[in-house]
Structure 1
Amino acid sequence: MKIRFPMRASVAACALCAATTLAPASPVAALGPTGGGPGAIVRPEATVPQPAVLYGEGTQVRLRSGAHAVPDVTALSWVVADAASGEVLAAHDAHRRLPPASTLKTLFALTALPAFPGGIRHTVSAKELLGIGEGSSLVGVVEGHTYQVADLWRGVFLNSGNDAVHVLAALNGGWEHTARQMEDKARSLGALDTTVVSPDGYDADGQDSSAYDLAVFGRAGLRDPDFARYCSTARAAFPGTEGTFQIANTNRLLTGADGVAPYPGLIGIKNGYTTNAGNTLVAAAHRSGRTLVVTVMHPQAGGHAVYEEARALLDWGFAAAGHVDPVGSLDALRPVPRGATTGAKPKTAVVASTGAPRPAEPDWTQTGTIAGAAGLGAGVLLLGLRFRYKRASRA
């Protein structure tokens, strides 16, 4: 005895099969039992709020019970973030666009440093030293003298030497080319607030960045062993016309100069000052297995406020571990390449490891292929069933 299924039931079963094949797994909802009964939709809480939170004005922080309040600082904009996970623990006007001063050299290094091994030797020409802004900080690069590229990078990171930046930018293809390349690099990191006019950070019309972007640059730099080594160097010898002379890092949290107490576990990264920007600082420190990145832009208090406010924010950030929920992520605006796979991010020079990247976007090309194949199969099956049904009726 043959058992025949009604055609409607067969078609319905086929449609159900195709729907099951085509339905993509939802990244937001999962099926499972809740207090609402079997099959209720569970929507897990997001561990990191959407990036729009950091576009809000004022201080953004999510304190748990018993957490300390964020310190009262005068900076126009600041960010405290975990370098490993990228989670922003607290921020104030994180995306406010302000002149960055020499903290923009972090982006310059991210862009140009990988292209030139430190052992390369280069003789400086007069043309390469043209156009240095009046009043710029200089390390003492001399026309006609031969330097190793590593010497020039120490001049950039320690003395914030605009003369060294000009020479390296010339090696990199020129001033304008380097500026455009820096902006491309910023966009690739998800830093959308930065406009580069002068790669050395010298005040220029239209040049700005944000505390968020500078934190992104500082965190990315720590993944490069050369960047991490240069930015954490307190003192070094620099070649002169008659032997070498000593240069010292202008980051007082690192050196303890001018009455500023050095910060325990400080890694670097870069400080700056111009008339328009005031004092700016991107700093990172490591303590008890955690690395934090802090950006402070234009404190309204005088003196060494940029260092003391960074100190207060670092202290708060280390104490806040486990007592705050993140208000955003330094990865939130990073483009996700098509076909990217999940997994742990590469290890960094000073950070043990980072969190998993954002999930890749669905590959709708592959989904369309599956849909077409499923539709073709359903059509063939339907024709077969209809033919057999007609034969059975005639019999």
Structure 2
Amino acid sequence: MSFMKQVSRPSADRVVRGGLSWRQIRTNSGPISILSGGPCTFSSVSALKTTARRTALTVLAAALLPAMTAAPAFAAMQDDNPERKKPKPPAVMSSVGGSLLAKPGTQVRLGPGAPVLPKDVSGRSWIVADAESGEVLASHNAHWRLPPASTMKMLFADTLLPRLPKTTVHKVAPAELADVGAGSSLVGIKENHTYTVHDMWLGVFLRSGNDAVHVLSAMNGGISRTVADMQAHAEELQALDTKVVSPDGYDAPGQVSSAYDLTLIARSGMQKKDFREYCSTVSADFPGEQKKGKKRGTFKIQNTNRLLTGASGISPYKGIAGVKNGSTTHAGSTFTGVAERNGKVLLVTVMNPDSGESQAVYKEAGRLLDWGFAAAGKVQPVGELVPPKSAEPAASLDPQPVKDEGKDEPAGPVAASQTGSSGIGVALSVAGAVLAGLGTAMFLIKRRWPLPDRVRRGSRP
């Protein structure tokens, strides 16, 4: 089982926007000290002729020298302090999923025998949750709204997959590729060539192809329409930290999500069979360029999720069932993944680690998954992944009794007194409650999505 793939880095120095973009390297020459090492001189004062006056001036100079030299040195030290420049999470964040998730910092409730959280996790925001029950086992700034990079493609796929039959064949118009951002990760779609919707979803999930996202968006009515559809779907899922500006995750002003929302979106996507299959696919053949007079060939594409495939010093994670990763200039590295071990399925999201460790987002996600599997059943949840709005029980429709001040007993139900027919009022209330309950029950049933067989085989000890 796997989400979508991310924007992989061909080298340690390359990161693409919406996928892979060039890393910006900042060179700091450091402050120039005003201390030259030479003696500090003062202008001579000819009027000072007595020894006492010269002594007084010497003492005054000695007192002033530290003040004159220390202040600039202190300011330079402050400018180089990384902690001073490190962004801080909001003091109060969204409380969707529970009041503890609204608080900044790490939230966890360890029980007897529970392992402590790994210390080497530097993500600005992260979350570990039970994929099926929805319990949040631990979190860190869960609702901090941060740039999501290509993990936004999870919402794109969850929104559009049901709308576009995968057998549909589409010829790509030049205009559909015209607005793909510079430096985007691409699968290699060519204008005036034909592709199936299935081909393009492989390009989205395996190569994080912004070209595939733009063509599928065009088939959905255009970028603006797709952004609006994604935003509406995010609100239906109660992913209320999420603001969609670009469907492919390319850096755009105001585009944000959170570790909580990305986990919520991934959980929704994993309930779709095609989503599960695409994101757990390791490699596939993709249609190549059609050359005149020759049969159209294919080329191999591989998933860029390193916990799924193993690369750049990362070993495949045991039981991994899919993820979507991303990396842009403003988002840093982001990752959402799902894995199964001994029948337990966990979701983890890590946003923007800053430890400087190579491939930190994958290593930190793996450490949190290890902790989650070891801690399952030994921690009290700190929150929950809420169901979609359409699956939530409606507010209580049961009529409330009101007190008749002229009698000792409460009067009949409000609905009955207003309609003049208590039977109809009560029946409608019960029917509404039953339908809401059925919606919730269906959501609970759908959560138990079957994982691909290859994932289950890999998750066994």
Question: TM class, shorter-chain normalised?
Answer: 0.7 to 0.9
| Alpha-carbon shift at residue 210 of structure 1 (Å) | 0.3
- Larger CA deviation: 208-217 vs 301-310: 301-310
TM-score (norm 1): 0.75
In the other structure, the counterpart of 2:99 is 52
Match status 1:65 vs 2:112: yes
Cα distance in 2 for residues equivalent to 1:229 and 1:139: 18
Please say if 1:106 is aligned against 2:140.
Answer: no
The share of aligned pairs that are identical, in percent, is: 56
For 2:324, the aligned partner's letter is K
Could you tell me how far 1:321 is from its partner in structure 2? 1.2
TM normalised by structure 2 equals 0.64
**1:136-285, aligned counterparts within 5 Å?**
136-241=184-289, 242-285=296-339
Check whether the contact 2:250–2:328 (CA below 8 A) recurs between aligned residues: yes
Unaligned runs of 5+ residues in structure 1 are 1-47, 338-356, 378-395
Q: 1:287 aligns with which of 341, 353, 359?
A: 341
Q: Is the contact between residue 120 and residue 149 of structure 1 (CA under 8 Å) also seen in structure 2?
A: yes
Aligned partner of 1:348 in structure 2 is none
Amino acid corresponding to residue 298 of structure 1 in structure 2: N
Aligned to 1:134: 182
Tell me, in whole angstroms, the C-alpha distance in 2 between the residues paired with 1:143 and 1:375: 66
CA deviation string 1:212-270 (max 9, x = no partner):
00000111111000001001111000001140000000100000112210001101121
Question: How many angstroms does 1:370 deviate by?
Answer: 3.0
SS of structure 2 residue aligned to 1:198: coil
Cα deviation for residue 374 of structure 1 reads 8.1
Q: Which residue of 2 aligns with 1:320?
A: 375
Q: Is the 8 A contact 1:49 1:326 kept in 2?
A: no
Q: Distance in 2 between matches of 1:309 and 1:101?
A: 18
- Equivalent-residue separation in structure 2 for 1:371 and 1:66 (angstroms): 57
Alignment of 1:18-29 (within 5 A): none
> How much does 1:190 deviate?
0.8
SS at match of 2:125: strand
Q: Which amino acid aligns with 2:170?
A: H
Aligned residues: 309
Assess if the C-alpha contact under 8 Å between 2:97 and 2:386 holds in 1: no
Give the direction of change, closer, same or farther, for the CA distance of 1:49–1:194 in structure 2 (3 Å limit): closer
Distance 1:162 1:50, change over 3 A: closer
Distance 2:202 2:192 in 1: 19
Structure 2's unaligned 5+ residue stretches are: 1-94, 290-295, 401-412, 424-461
Letter of the 1:129 counterpart: L
Alpha carbons 1:101, 1:277 under 8 Å: kept: yes
Residue 100 of structure 1: CA displacement? 0.2
1:362 aligns with 2:396: yes
Matches of 1:359 and 1:105, distance apart in 2: 29
Deviation, structure 1 residue 375: 9.6
1:89 paired with 2:123, answer no
Kept in 2, the 8 Å contact 1:137–1:162? The answer is: yes
Classify 1:376/1:188 alpha carbon distance in 2 versus 1 (closer, same or farther; 3 Å).
closer
